[in-house]
Amino acid sequence: MDRTSELFDALMRVAIDLSESLPTDQRYQRLVAAVQRVLPADAVALLKVEGEEQLVPLAVKGLDPNLIGRCFRISEHPRFERIVSAQHVVRFAADDPMPDPYDGHVHAGGRADGSPGSVHSCLGAPLRIDGELVGCLTVDAIEPGRFESVDDSWVETFAALAAATMRTALLIDELEHRAAHQEHVAQELVFEALARHGSGLVGSSEPIRRLHAEIDLASRSGMPVLVHGETGTGKELVARTVHARSGRARRPLVSVNCAALPETIAESELFGHMRGAFTGAVSTRPGRFEVAHEGTLFLDEVGELPLSLQPLLLRAVQFGEIQRVGAARPQTVDVWLIAATNRDLEAEVRRGAFREDLFHRINAFPVRVPSLREHREDIPMLVQHFLDEAKIKLGLSEARVDRRALAGMAEYAWPGNVRELHHVILRAAVRASNGGREKDIVIGGEHLDLSPALRAVADATPPRPVGSLTEATEVFQRQMIHAAVEAAHGNWAQAARDLQVDKSNLHRLALRLGLKAAESHSEPPASS
């Protein structure tokens, strides 16, 4: 290969490195190695300006590696001072009286006894990004006149690539610094929120107290945790609380929604891939397991994970071993797994849709999140919590729910659980505020988009006072059933669906409450 072809080959390799996912020190080292391969140099150094006074070597080739990180005060080294003051390549004659900062540090081409030699050929180029000096590139040799055949344009081309490499590395470092800072801020906000408000799991009922106790045990166990419960119960919030209370709280929490992972890229997303592993893999990329190293990986909707990937997940959980797509060897990671699902995974195992061994591995510490129907007594507290959120979002001065609307919500089945309640309250606040025009609102039944039966109860005139809780309950039940049947135009099956009860149970309750005569299917009297 002639010198020109060798130059272009080296430049191409450096340019490709700019698009690679490489550690910063490796990126710099490849650059100086490419320069030494092409130019007849015994030593090459890439230096970065620190402040306005110093140069610090980032990578060297053919020089004492102990120079890395050493600070050279520019004013004390006239050759460096001349290079950084120039606009183009600077050459130093073999008999130049200026002392060379690398004398005694050049390993290649030293004396016969193997000791380092003195520099007799030296050139350098300043590195600038958008006109600002960021460093310099130096090329040295022991033999005088070594660089006479080297064209300045070659050195300037390498200097431009060196500046681009430094820009790329600085941008990556800045992004990583920002990410680390944002992660730190996010973690601090989590800790602050936990300190002020607990976990964010609102409620004081017995089911919620049991849930908190389970979260405490799970967070200390270090075992894989499976959070399960109906849709909308707050499984992700529980998973985040488990992480925040654990010994890994200050390490990353990486979340993956398995239901949103296309099967074709799921393996790459979880375990990473090597460059060229498949069409479109233009660079090497770590997977979520690697990103979560020494932290926590949260797999939401884990029941949606394709069967083809489940053995790989099992190996990762069981042995901490993963392998990037296209990689020759596996690697180990330290990741704590928290998974969540609204599916009955035991039933999925029985029908062959989920691996039994994986189920038992991720279900090492199960945490069940109760449905809202199981802790209805927390509804007023949850409503107030969501109203406080609505006040901030809508700029309200005051917001409350009237007693009848609250009674209607207390009786509703809430198939969407806490998430549904959250959305209902926010929508009702928007309606009551007339799109933000009103600043002091009271949410009534007309603002709620629940079932017609419950809307009717929430809008109804309050029942007259009665003597006992049993009597009050029966009065309320009569009102509910009557409103449901009227809303369904006399269709008792539809009324049962609106009330979220079995049709036969509704008929029996109507009989007991005197709303229907025995063996009769007539409508209840309007005066009931």
90-114 pLDDT, tens digit each: 999 888 889 888 888 887 544 434 4
Burial 154-163 (b: 16+ CB within 10 A, else e): bbebbbebbb
Topology given in CATH for the domain delimited by 374-459: Helicase, Ruva Protein; domain 3 (1.10.8)
Predicted local confidence at residue 182, as pLDDT: 61
Question: d(Cα 339, Cα 334) in Å, to the nearest integer?
Answer: 16
Distance from the Cα of residue 494 to its chain's centroid: 44
Topology given in CATH for the domain delimited by 465-528: Arc Repressor Mutant, subunit A (1.10.10)
Q: Of 424, 382, 417, 376, whose CA–CA distance to 232 is shortest?
A: 417
pTM: 0.55
Q: Provide the pairing of β-strand 336-341 with 296-300.
A: parallel
Q: Are 100 and 122 in contact (CB under 8 A)?
A: yes
Predicted local confidence at residue 527, as pLDDT: 37
Position 426 pLDDT exceeds 90: yes
What is the average per-residue pLDDT within 173-194?
A: 60
Predicted local confidence at residue 455, as pLDDT: 54
| Comma-separated ranges of CATH 1.10.8.60 domains in the chain | 374-459
| Comma-separated ranges of CATH 3.40.50.300 domains in the chain | 213-369
Question: Per the CATH hierarchy, to which homologous superfamily does domain 213-369 belong?
Answer: P-loop containing nucleotide triphosphate hydrolases (3.40.50.300)
What is the average per-residue pLDDT within 296-304?
A: 96
Could you tell me the two tokens for 371?
A: 């449905």
Could you tell me the two tokens for 493?
A: 């099956």
Position 528 pLDDT exceeds 60: no
What is the average per-residue pLDDT within 341-369?
A: 96
Q: Which residues contact 211 (CB under 8 A, 6 or more apart)?
A: 201, 238, 367, 368, 369, 370
| Comma-separated ranges of CATH 3.30.450.40 domains in the chain | 3-173
| Other beta carbons within 10 Å of 471 | 12
Query: What CATH class does 3-173 carry?
Result: alpha beta
- Torsion, CA 102, CA 104, CA 109, CA 110, rounded to 10: 170
Predicted local confidence at residue 8, as pLDDT: 58
Position 177 pLDDT exceeds 90: no
pLDDT tens digit sequence for 192-228: 555 444 456 899 899 999 999 999 999 999 999 999 9
Residue type, 397: S
Question: d(Cα 294, Cα 271) in Å, to the nearest integer?
Answer: 15
What is the average per-residue pLDDT within 455-481?
A: 60
SS3 at position 254: strand
Alpha-carbon distances of 301 from 226, 257, 260, 266, 340, rounded to whole Å: 10, 6, 9, 13, 6
pLDDT tens digit sequence for 356-369: 999 999 999 999 99
Position 450 pLDDT exceeds 60: yes
| Other beta carbons within 10 Å of 422 | 19
Helical (H) or strand (E) element with 195: helix 152-197
What is the average per-residue pLDDT within 446-474?
A: 60
What is the average per-residue pLDDT within 342-370?
A: 96
Query: Which of 28-32, 189-193, 491-495 is predicted least confidently?
Result: 189-193
